[in-house]
Amino acid sequence: MYLSKVLKVLYSPRKTLREVIQNPKYIGPLLIMILFIATSVASEYVYFSKYYSEQLIPNGTNATILDEWTQNSSFWTSPNANITESSDAINGTIYGNASIAFSAQNSSQVSTNLTGIGTVNCSAPNSFDLLSFRTKWTNPQAQLENVTIQMFSLNSSSDYFSSDLTDTFSNATYDTWNNITLQLDSPTWNASNSNADWGGITGLQLNFTWATNSSNSNVMLLIDGLFFHGPFESFLETAGSSYLVDYGISVIFLFVITWVLFAGLIYALAKAFKGKITWRPLFIAVGFALMTMFVESLLVGIAYSTLPTIRVPFELLGGVQGEGTSALNTISNQTWLVSLFSELVLPIVIWMWTSALGSIIVRAITGFSRGKSIVIAIIAYSIVFFLTFLGII
């Protein structure tokens, strides 16, 4: 019976709200709140199951700085260079505020070793089979003559894969951050022996040689933002099921605060207009009017279900200005219609609909004119609407 009355708000609002005001009971609004919570959580589930983000190693010890290997010089060793932490670093959302600096005197070579990274599965496919890092040298001004890399496995220095990166660095320039991405577990790599295993990478070595014949040459090399990446996981897998529980709790608070605030503003404005108004029937009738919140969450969930699989790649996760433009354009092309509907068109329609239901409630309780009732309802719900839009409630 109560479910029938709740649904009648959608197609016979005037009659239903008058009946509610004459016989106010809380079970109706509570049922609407349950429906709203269920569809909101379901919509969020659909949304998170559509978006996939590229996974990174390291994934950081806090929410913003992920590249811990190039924040802390203790991960690095070198047979011919001094190692320090430099404030000259990549400006991005996950890169922190430091890089690792290698300085060598009277030399045109630098060898660097990264250890203590645990074991990383780089065996293609569906693994961390991409390696990205940034390099910059401020001395010498000469071009790089030779660059090689070794990827160690099974905690043995004799079990590794090697590759010549000289061609990869052919366009690298002096005093500029150069972005390098390498495909691992590919034919470009040579195994030292049959024990070398891409499924258990434990460290790496980079060797740089500059084109200079001067024995008095000095080297200053910086490395930042070193990550393994490649596999994609849905936002839902990344966040975990506990996120949906937390989201459901936040939705309860949203409904209750909206309910109390909308009813309270109508009550205060009606009193300001010298109207006679009773709190209980007003409060319960406003709870019925919030059936529009259930409809909105239901339609948003349906809209989300039409989205294709959205992949958020490493370039976008890094947040470096000017990078990931192509990926961002692809995502925008895939989502613009759903975003337009769920973030602009639908909220405006719900605002108009809820304000209209509020005006019916005001008129039924106070006996105000239709115009005055509409003004009170629009002012009251507009305040709620903008507080929600601004994230205050």
Using alpha carbons only, give the angle 200, 205, 206 rounded to the nearest 5 degrees.
Answer: 135
Question: With contact defined as beta carbons under 8 Å apart, do 95 and 225 qualify?
Answer: yes
- 384 vs 315, residue with greater confidence: 384
Answer whether residue 93 shows pLDDT above 90. Answer: no
- 320 vs 384, residue with greater confidence: 384
Answer whether residue 74 shows pLDDT above 90. Answer: yes
pLDDT tier at 322 (50, 70, 90 boundaries)? Answer: confident
Q: What is the mean pLDDT of residues 106-110?
A: 88
What digits encode the pLDDT tens for the residues 217-243? 789 999 999 999 999 999 888 877 788
Answer yes or no: do 353 and 215 share one domain: no
Answer whether residue 1 shows pLDDT above 70. Answer: no
First to last CA, the chain: 32
Q: What is the mean pLDDT of residues 76-98?
A: 91
Q: What is the mean pLDDT of residues 113-130?
A: 91
pLDDT at 365: 94
Q: Is the omega angle on the peptide bond into residue 125 within 30 degrees of 0, that is, cis?
A: yes
Answer whether residue 295 shows pLDDT above 50. Answer: yes
Residue that is last in its domain, among 205, 231, 257: 231
Answer yes or no: do 240 and 384 share one domain: yes
Answer whether residue 64 shows pLDDT above 60. Answer: no
pLDDT at 215: 54
pLDDT tier at 325 (50, 70, 90 boundaries)? Answer: confident
Answer yes or no: do 73 and 167 share one domain: yes
Counting the structural domains of the chain, the total is 2
Which residues are paired to 191 by β-bridges?
A: 161
Answer yes or no: do 243 and 374 share one domain: yes
Mean pLDDT of the chain: 91
CATH at 173:
2.60.120.260
Answer whether residue 186 shows pLDDT above 80. Answer: yes
Answer yes or no: do 144 and 166 share one domain: yes
- 141 vs 300, residue with greater confidence: 300
From CA 98, how far away is CA 75, in angstroms rounded?
14
Residues 6+ apart with CB under 8 A from 277: 266, 267, 270, 271, 365, 366
Residue that is last in its domain, among 196, 212, 231: 231
Answer yes or no: do 8 and 93 share one domain: no
Answer yes or no: do 224 and 263 share one domain: no
- 216 vs 83, residue with greater confidence: 83
pLDDT at 38: 96
pLDDT tier at 358 (50, 70, 90 boundaries)? Answer: very high
Answer yes or no: do 33 and 156 share one domain: no
pLDDT at 236: 84
Are β-strands 310-312 and 51-57 bridged in parallel, bridged antiparallel, or unpaired? parallel
From CA 279, how far away is CA 111, in angstroms rounded?
76
- DSSP codes of every residue in 154-187: TTEEEEEEEEE-TTTTTT--TTSPEEEEEE-SST
Answer yes or no: do 76 and 217 share one domain: yes
Residue that is last in its domain, among 177, 199, 231: 231
Range of the domain at 77: 57-231
Answer whether residue 195 shows pLDDT above 70. Answer: yes
pLDDT at 47: 93
Q: What is the mean pLDDT of residues 253-265?
A: 96
pLDDT at 92: 83
Q: What is the mean pLDDT of residues 12-36?
A: 93
Please list the alpha-helical segments (H only) found in the chain. Answer: 2-11, 13-22, 27-50, 235-239, 241-272, 279-289, 291-305, 314-318, 325-340, 346-366, 370-389
pLDDT at 63: 46
pLDDT at 360: 96
What letter does residue 313 receive in the DSSP assignment?
A: -
Answer yes or no: do 63 and 48 share one domain: no
Answer yes or no: do 15 and 80 share one domain: no
Using alpha carbons only, give the angle 46, 49, 51 rounded to the nearest 5 degrees.
Answer: 115
Q: What is the mean pLDDT of residues 174-191?
A: 93
pLDDT tier at 95 (50, 70, 90 boundaries)? Answer: confident
Answer yes or no: do 146 and 63 share one domain: yes
